[in-house]
Amino acid sequence: MSEGQTFYLLITLFYLSSCIKSAAPGGIAIKKNLLKGWSIRQPMATLAGVGKSLYLAPLSPWPGAILLSSSCAKQSAKITRASAWRLLRLTHRATTHLRFISLLIFALFFAVIPYIYYLDGDSIRTRLVIGYAFFLILYASLCFFCIHRRFVPKRKAERIKHLLLNIISPWSAMRCSDDILMQGKLQAIHPLTMASLCKDSERTAYLGQALRDSIYRKEPQFTLEEVKSTLAVSGIKQSDLTKPPVLESDDSSQYCPCCLTTFSAGTAYCEECDHVPLKSFRDPEQQAS
């Protein structure tokens, strides 16, 4: 393997590692798609030993984006849904230009420079393209510094550290907007509030599970009052989230009221939900509803 191949292998590995984000279990990650709005990102792994959940950010710096809300956010003063939505839009728009510059750096290092080098070798044109790539790295680093100072002005030491890291590390410059999107006030948004900003289907599914957990689990992540408050602001009826699941098979006669998994006769508890007692589809209360 040549020195150039080794260099690109290292850049690729470092870049992929920078796409993996960690958060404490109980938090939530949402991602922005170009046309589909915000959606909930499920963790790709949970490291119980160190108390971290791992999330994979969009591999391209633009147009996708990812935000993390820490589980400890629920211990802080709760940001209202309207304020959270304004803050989310403001931060996302403020980093749009930076993420586009990061995309150009990404394209230069992983597509343009290898192609030019393949055609011309160590020529003047190759050196000019490399020089332009490092100019964009410097420009992105300065943009990061200004935006970071705008949103988290008190974190001067952290800002200078990331500035220097972005200048000397191409893979860091490609993901520098993540350091703005995943800190400050955005990370202090309550996970339930963050989920309420996503598209309807995912918002309803997340809040529905949170509601049922708060009713049936012994140690739920959120209190029933927290969930009810978020449902009221989101305009979702509690009764719509506690309905029994659709009976898909005649073999299923029971269901778990917490996770809505169906069961056949002979099972009394759902082991996945702290041994919640199962309910029957033939329950008179269910038939009446």
Mean pLDDT of the chain: 88
Q: In this structure, are residues 66 and 58 in contact, taking their beta carbons and an 8 Å threshold?
A: yes
Whether pLDDT at 283 is above 60: yes
Query: If you ran DSSP here, which 8-state letter would residue 167 be given?
Result: H
Q: Find which of 130-134, 186-190, 219-223 is predicted with most confidence, using mean pLDDT.
A: 130-134
Q: How confident is the model at residue 289 (pLDDT cuts 50, 70, 90)?
A: very low
- Asked if residues 5 and 168 have their Cβ atoms less than 8 Å apart, the reply is no
**pLDDT at residue number 48:** 77
- What confidence score (pLDDT) does residue 94 get? 93
pLDDT digits (tens, 9 = 90+) for 179-214: 898 876 787 888 999 999 998 899 999 999 999 999
pLDDT tens digits, 9-63: 999 999 999 999 988 777 889 998 777 789 999 888 888 788 788 999 999 999 8
What tens digit of pLDDT does each residue of 78-98 get? 688 899 999 999 999 999 999
Burial class (CB in 10 A: 0-12, 13-18, 19+), 110: middle
Q: CA-to-CA distance for 286 and 77, rounded, in angstroms?
A: 39
Lookup: tokens for 265: 């006769």
**d(C-alpha 112, C-alpha 247), whole Å:** 55
- The amino acid at 275: H
| The total number of residues written for the chain in this structure | 289
pLDDT of residue 37: 85
Return the percentage of the chain with pLDDT > 90, whole number. 62
Residues 113-136, mean pLDDT to the nearest whole number = 94
pLDDT score of 287 more than 50:
no
Residue 30 β-bridge partners: 40, 67
Give the angle subtended at the CA of 148 by the CAs of 144 and 152, to the nearest 5°. Answer: 170
User: In degrees rounded to 5, what are phi and psi of residue 171?
Assistant: -65, -30
**Region 130-149: what's the mean pLDDT?**
96
Looking at residue 288, its pLDDT comes to 39
- Please state the domain extents for the chain: 3-20+77-191, 199-242, 243-289
Q: What is the mean pLDDT of residues 210-227?
A: 93
- On the question of pLDDT at 112 being above 70, the answer is yes
pLDDT tens-digit map of 230-269: 999 999 999 999 999 988 777 888 999 999 999 988 889 9
Give the model's pLDDT for residue 282. 76
Measured CA angle at 240 (ends 236, 241), to 5 deg: 90
71 pLDDT tier (thresholds 50, 70, 90): low
Using the predicted structure, report yes or no on whether residue 171 has a pLDDT greater than 80. yes
Q: What is the pLDDT of residue 247?
A: 82
pLDDT of residue 134 exceeding 90? yes
Strand partners, 68: 29
> Is residue 111 predicted with pLDDT exceeding 80?
yes
